[in-house]
Homo-oligomer: A and B are copies of this chain.
Amino acid sequence: MTEEKQLQCPMNLLMGSIGGKWKISLLWALKETKRFNELQKLFDGITQTMLTKQLRELERDGFVHREVYKQVPPKVEYSLTDMGTDFLPILYNMNDWGAKHFEELKSKG
């Protein structure tokens, strides 16, 4: 769609921020603050490169806060910003929805 249409539609704007392959699942995982390491273990199909990229994008888009501790070895914690936290209820709804239609989804996809 055109730049203009995209800007005018809240849904498309939102999708521009959280439309990536891992984004929604990442936000979901970050309902509790997590270290880079923990996320990597949780998403064991994601590479470091991808994880870093997705997290940085979510940070840039204002959903995720990145807290670097001056330690060695490094410690970096990821958590939801206010805006990200405000999105949580929708994620809960989605999770509930997924649970409700679990069998149906499994049989098709």
Residues of A within 8 A of B (CB): 1-2, 5, 7, 9-17, 19, 21, 24-25, 28, 42-46, 60-62, 83, 86-87, 89-91, 93-102, 104-106, 108-109
Contacts and interface: CB of A to CB of B under 8 A. Distances in A.
A105 B13 contact: yes
Contacts of A12: 25
Nearest to A21: B19
A14 B45 contact: no
Given A16-B109, A19-B21, A61-B105, 8 more contacts: A11-B91, A13-B109, A14-B97, A19-B24, A60-B108, A86-B97, A87-B97, A90-B90
Contacts of A2: 44-45
B46 A1 contact: yes
B45 A10 contact: no
A13 B102 CA distance: 8
B83 A104 contact: yes
